[in-house]
């Protein structure tokens, strides 16, 4: 018995296309994804306020975080951890030439657990000495 490969290819392509379209529809219409995204956006908004309260000193600060990534700054992420969230990103003050990395841990209620930044600013080092949740490491 000889198999007609032209028909078999057509059936395979049609079946694969239908499966992919079904899975795509299920993924796009999943309401749980939208709810998770809303929670993540709220957490990142809170993390911005926390970060700015530590590093801005009433200056203009440019941020690269999971909501607004600046490719030139580097990678960013938000990651759920056992007791809350971990967020990384970068910031740049108006008088700085480079980006400064930060790593922040927030609890489930978006309260700061720890904030670590890489910055050479002496004022931030003084703030870090007075706050156990805040740490500053020298940039390389």
- Cα distances from 88 to residues 18, 61, 110, in angstroms, run 39, 16, 14
C-beta separation of 79 from 85 below 8 A: yes
Mind listing the pLDDT tens digit of every residue in the chain (140 residues)? 787 888 899 999 999 999 999 999 998 888 898 889 999 999 999 999 999 999 887 888 999 999 999 998 889 999 999 989 999 999 998 888 889 999 999 999 989 999 999 988 888 888 888 889 999 988 76
Other CB atoms within 10 Å distance of the CB of residue 37: 10
Predicted TM-score of the model (pTM): 0.77
Helices (H), 30-121: 31-55
DSSP H helical ranges for 29-137: 31-55, 122-130
């Amino acid at each position: 018995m000889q198999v007609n490969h032209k028909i078999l290819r057509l059936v395979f392509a049609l079946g694969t296309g239908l499966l992919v379209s079904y899975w795509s529809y299920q993924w796009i219409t999943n309401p749980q994804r939208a709810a998770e995204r809303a929670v993540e956006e709220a957490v990142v908004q809170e993390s911005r306020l926390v970060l700015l309260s530590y590093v801005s000193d009433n200056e203009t600060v440019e941020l690269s975080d999971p909501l607004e990534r600046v490719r030139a700054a580097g990678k960013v992420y938000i990651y759920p951890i056992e007791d809350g969230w971990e967020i990384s990103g970068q910031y740049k003050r108006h008088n700085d030439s480079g980006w400064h990395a930060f790593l922040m841990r927030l609890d489930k209620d978006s309260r700061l657990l720890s904030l670590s930044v890489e910055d050479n600013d002496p004022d931030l080092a003084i703030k870090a000495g007075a706050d156990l949740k805040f740490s500053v490491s020298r940039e390389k």
